[in-house]
Every structure is written in structure tokens, then in C-alpha cells.
Chains A and B, each alone.
Chain A
Amino acid sequence: MLKTVWEWTLVLLIFGLSAAFGNWLGYDILPWLAIPGMLILIAISIVGLVLEKVLPGNIPAVGYIGILGILISLPWTPGSEFVVEWTNKISILALATPILAYAGISIGSNWADFRKLGFRSIIVALLVFLGTFIGSALIAEVILRWQGII
């Protein structure tokens, strides 16, 4: 377990280094100013990954990680002002760029499978957006009428 945790940490540090430099070049935050925030995010992830392994139930690590992030940044949590201040220095887009760089490289290896998705996937994607939007609007209409707002 300890060895796995150490390896997760190393992987996340390598990832964080790329993200911190992207954060500098794209969003003008010097890399060393991003270090505390990045370490906090890495710590949240590690704890979430460990919880997935040790807790019973079928909740994936990302479920724990989201809750942990919320808990330590609540206004009532002692020290949350530092968590918020430091993590604010890291743009969410700067974290997404290395993910998609790795994803592009990785997709190459099963490009044949991916290409099969092709044009049909655009139709499905459009319906995904349309379905979410119309579904939400219909339920909102019912609720707003019921509340007497419209």
C-alpha cells in the first residue's frame, strides 16, 4: 500500500510539473507560486484514491476526491482561506491541458477503435446536449410553475 501511495505521488508530481509550467505560460502564474496549491490538490487526490481502496462500497475515488475538496475549502473549515487562496493560483484549464496531451498520445494506440466512432458520434453528441438541455428546461418549467415564480 505504502509503495502504491508513493508511486501515485510520483505520477501526480510529474503531472503537476507539466501543469504548473502550462499555468505559467498560459495564465501568468509563476511556477513556484503554484506549488502550495498543487501540493494540496495532489494530497486530496491521494487521500481519495486511498479511501477508494480501504472503504467498503462501490464509490469510485473521484467521488471521495470531490467531497474532500469541498470539505477542506468550506468557509467554516479552519485554514480554508489558505486552501482557497493557494488553489486559486492554479487554472482548471492548465490541469486539463496535460490530461488531453496524454490522452492524445494514448488514443493513438487504439486509434482504429476510436476512428470507428466516426461521424455517428457527432450525432450522438448533439443529442446528448439537446437531451440534457430540454430535459432540464422541462423539469425547471414544472418547478418554477409549482413555486409560482412564472
Chain B
Amino acid sequence: MKNARLKDIIKDWRLHAIVFILVCITEAVGQFSFKVGPGVILLLPMVYAFIIGLILFFTPLVSQKTAKNAEPLIVLGVTLLIAKIGVIIGPQIEALIEAGPALLLQEVGNLGTIFLALPVAVWLGFKRESIGMTHSIAREPNVGLIVNKFGFDSPEGRGVMAVYIFGTVFGAVFLGLISGILATTTPLHPLSFAMASGVGSGSMMAAASGSLVAAFPTMENEIIAFAGASNLISLSTGLYMSIFIGLPLTEKLYALMIKRRERRDTEKQGGAPNA
């Protein structure tokens, strides 16, 4: 973010006017949700704003330069979102302390995405996009971290945005489906899944714990309490887990996998032509 550029960006009134109008229209339309099985597909104003913004790029309204000017607004706008999350957490500090260190330890489980999704992402041929995609569950704090560190217009930035947008629309319905299926078909206890439901997103937590309650109605209050406390801890520690553990770990593993892949590729090239 160079100073000279930031000044030009502030003066790009066309860009800000377009966004202003877009926000007003999409917020006025409001949200829609479709029930699918135990979960819902959520269509939020932010999703329409994203899609219309993208379409506008291909009209004469938005020039290449205007599109470039939008990037720092994203990086700075996300900081407001993180500030807002901070002031949501502060007043609940007592509930967090009460939930205890056990719940905190459980957050380590959120790193599961790295071990499951990163190898597949690399195998599918993703390069540094895979770091943005798989270092976390890609909620707002993680998007903030990636765009803060790598910039929005970077492979990591594209990766995290792809999972973020997908998760915004389909995350709740997907977690709602798999939590019901897994809790009824695996030997793990429903309360373990209740804790797992708290991934750091209100709608996803509601969907995942909702199907648990549907499957185990007698445990309703316990499930909701565990899911809620875990969600709050995920929301408050998720960013720092990513900064200090998730992201460095993903980068390390990625470097290892890429090195192995390159070695294999050179071996292949060096071998007999018909091997």
C-alpha cells in the first residue's frame, strides 16, 4: 500500500459510489434462506454484492484501474470487521474463562483441515493458493490475516476468498448434513460433535448443533451449551491459532510437499522415456 496510491484511491469517487449504491441495494433486498435437510443455504446481501461487483467489472462502469484501486479498501475494511469481532468477545470474557482450558485445548482440533485438505489441494495442482485455502476454516479473522499478510491480489488471497465465499453460502448446510450423519454413524459421543460444531461462525454452529439436537433431543441443552462455548472460543482464539500455529504449519508442510513433488517430477523426466 504505497502512499501515493492510497491518495489516488481515496479520490476514486466512481469506485466508492458504485460500492455505496451496491451496498444500499443489496442490504435493502435482504437475506434469503432455503431449508435443505437439517441445514439452510444462506443467501446474504454480501453474496449478492460480491456477484454484482464481479459482473460490473465486465461492464464499462469499472475500469481495470478502478478494480485495482479496490484492493486496499478490502484490506482496510477487514480490519473493521476484526475490531468488531474484538468488541463482541470482550463482554463475554467471563463465560470464556468459565468454559475453561479444556475447551481451549480442543481448538487444536481445528487444525484438522491442514492435514486433510492441504495434501489434496496440492495433489489437485494448487500452488500457494492451497495455503490460503486450507490453513483454517476461512472465516473473517482468517481472511483478515491472509489479506493483511499476503495482500488480496495474491494466490493465498484468492485461495482464502474462494473457501470464504463457498463457506458463506454452503457452510451451514454442509456442516448441518455431516454433523447429523457422523454423529449417528461413528462411535464418537454427541457432545464431542457439539464441541466440534463451534467452528467460529454463528450460522454454521447453529446448523451443525441443530442436527445434533434433532438426532439426540434429550441432550438438547448440553449440546447447545457446549457448541456455543466452543464457538465463542473458536471465534476469539481462531485468529491467534492461525497466526502462531496454523499458518506457519501450513507453510512448512506446503514447502515440504512441493519439494517432494518437484523431486518426483525431475526423477520422472530423468528416467527412461517409456518408463
Residues of A within 8 A of B (CB): 3-4, 7-8, 10-12, 14-19, 21-23, 25-27, 40-42, 44-45, 48-49, 59-63, 65-75, 77, 80, 83-84, 87, 90, 92-111, 113-114, 117, 120-141, 143-144, 147, 149-150
User: Secondary structure of the A side of the interface?
Assistant: helix
15 sample A-B contacts, Cβ–Cβ < 8 Å, listed by A number? A21-B20, A62-B141, A87-B87, A105-B19, A108-B53, A109-B57, A122-B166, A124-B130, A125-B163, A127-B116, A135-B111, A136-B198, A137-B196, A138-B188, A140-B193
Indicate whether A101 sits within 8 Å of B23 (C-beta atoms), given known contacts A26-B28, A132-B137, A133-B178. Answer: yes
Segment at the A interface, from B65-73, B256-264, B267-275: B65-73
Contacts of A96 in B (CB 8 A): 44, 46, 81, 140
Of the candidates B6, B18, B149, the one whose C-beta lies within 8 Å of that of A7 is B6
Interface residue range, chain B: 35 or more
Contacts of B174 in A (CB 8 A): 126, 129
Docked-complex contact B83 and A108, CB < 8 angstroms:
no
Q: Is B223 positioned at the interface, with any CB of A under 8 Å from its CB?
A: no
- Give A140 Cβ to nearest chain B Cβ, in Å: 4
Docked-complex contact B91 and A75, CB < 8 angstroms:
yes
Contacts of B30 in A (CB 8 A): 26
Docked-complex contact B74 and A102, CB < 8 angstroms:
yes
Q: State in angstroms the CA–CA spacing of A124 and B94 once bound together.
A: 37
Docked-complex contact B44 and A93, CB < 8 angstroms:
yes
Q: Is B36 positioned at the interface, with any CB of A under 8 Å from its CB?
A: no
Q: Is B145 positioned at the interface, with any CB of A under 8 Å from its CB?
A: yes
Contacts of A121 in B (CB 8 A): 126, 129, 133, 159, 162-163, 166
Docked-complex contact A136 and B158, CB < 8 angstroms:
no
Docked-complex contact B145 and A104, CB < 8 angstroms:
no
Of the candidates B9, B124, B158, the one whose C-beta lies within 8 Å of that of A11 is B9
Q: State in angstroms the CA–CA spacing of A25 and B54 once bound together.
A: 22
Docked-complex contact B73 and A15, CB < 8 angstroms:
yes
Q: Is B37 positioned at the interface, with any CB of A under 8 Å from its CB?
A: no
Per-residue CB proximity of B45-63 to A under 8 Å, as 1/0? Answer: 1110111111111100010
- Give A20 Cβ to nearest chain B Cβ, in Å: 10
Contacts of A66 in B (CB 8 A): 82-83, 85-86, 89, 141, 236, 239-240
Q: State in angstroms the CA–CA spacing of A77 and B89 once bound together.
A: 13
Top-5 shortest CB links A-B: A69-B86, A135-B112, A108-B57, A104-B53, A73-B90
Residue of B nearest to A43 (CB): B83
Docked-complex contact A136 and B109, CB < 8 angstroms:
yes
Docked-complex contact A128 and B113, CB < 8 angstroms:
yes
- Give A101 Cβ to nearest chain B Cβ, in Å: 4
Per-residue CB proximity of B127-161 to A under 8 Å, as 1/0? Answer: 00110011011101100110011001101001101
Q: State in angstroms the CA–CA spacing of A16 and B73 once bound together.
A: 11
- Give B8 Cβ to nearest chain A Cβ, in Å: 10
Q: Is B88 positioned at the interface, with any CB of A under 8 Å from its CB?
A: yes
Contacts of B27 in A (CB 8 A): 21-23, 25-27, 94, 97
Q: Is B249 positioned at the interface, with any CB of A under 8 Å from its CB?
A: no
Contacts of B255 in A (CB 8 A): none
Docked-complex contact B89 and A69, CB < 8 angstroms:
yes
- Give A117 Cβ to nearest chain B Cβ, in Å: 5
Docked-complex contact B102 and A102, CB < 8 angstroms:
no
Indicate whether A63 sits within 8 Å of B24 (C-beta atoms), given known contacts A75-B93, A128-B133, A128-B138. Answer: no
